[in-house]
Amino acid sequence: MADRARQLAFITSESDSLREVVDRLDAEVTGALADVLVAVVECLEAGGTLLVAGNGGSAADAGHLAAEFLGRCTKERGPLRAIALPDATATVTAVGNDYGYAEVFARQVRALARAGDVVLLLSTSGSSLNVVEAARAGREVGATVAAFTGAAGSALADASDIAVRVPSLSTQRIQEVHQLWGHTLAAWVDEALA
């Protein structure tokens, strides 16, 4: 039974830890997230494309978010233009091999993004060179570049038009809040465009 009590205490501690991070989301953070919601709706209403990228768990979150747009989140509507750049395995590995890993998303952004599109980049650290280079590429082509990052994500934030920072340094808490924001974005788009 001692293990059971420790397990339950651990579950509670993890939940409390996430709750504390969410409780620290202030007006600056939520205002920046609202700016992302506006940019994505305007992009999609104009027939543009949402391009999403990240590494590791953030790559999985990018694929999940694109799926919410190609399918639906909360309301029935037609499919929306969304691409998860990490999902292009052959492209990622070919570009990484031929041009270096720093270019795996930037080269795709240069090829696929246009002015009026939104490039949404997810990074817990905000310092992954391939994600920062994708932000620079997005700005080069005239897309709006938005970033979901953590408290320390200054390189990505500086390279983006809109940066939304989770007030935490914990990778798992940052990713959990990014998932919340992704669902918030998808649900808002469903409301706006259904």
Q: Render 113-131 in DSSP notation, one character per residue.
A: --TT-EEEEE-SSS--HHH
CA dist 113 and 101 (Å) reads 19
Q: How confident is the model at residue 2 (pLDDT cuts 50, 70, 90)?
A: confident
CA distance 152 to 73: 30
User: In the chain, where does DSSP find H-type helix?
Assistant: 2-23, 27-45, 57-70, 89-99, 106-112, 129-140, 154-159, 171-193
Query: Is 130:159 a contact under the CB 8 Å cutoff?
Result: no
What percent of the chain is predicted at pLDDT more than 70?
Answer: 99
Class of the CATH-defined domain 26-193: alpha beta
Q: Where are the domains of the chain?
A: 26-193
User: Closest by alpha carbon to 182, among 79, 57, 14?
Assistant: 57
Distance of alpha carbon 156 from alpha carbon 99, whole angstroms: 21
pLDDT value for 1: 61
Q: Taking the model in full, what pTM does it have? A: 0.96
Which residue pairs, CB below 8 angstroms and at least 24 apart, start in 101-106? 101/129, 101/130, 102/129, 102/130, 102/133, 103/130, 103/133, 104/130, 105/53, 105/130, 105/131, 105/133, 105/134, 105/137, 106/130, 106/133, 106/134, 106/136, 106/137
pLDDT digits (tens, 9 = 90+) for 114-144: 999 999 999 999 999 999 999 999 999 999 9
Residue with tokens 């041009």: 99
pLDDT at 74: 94
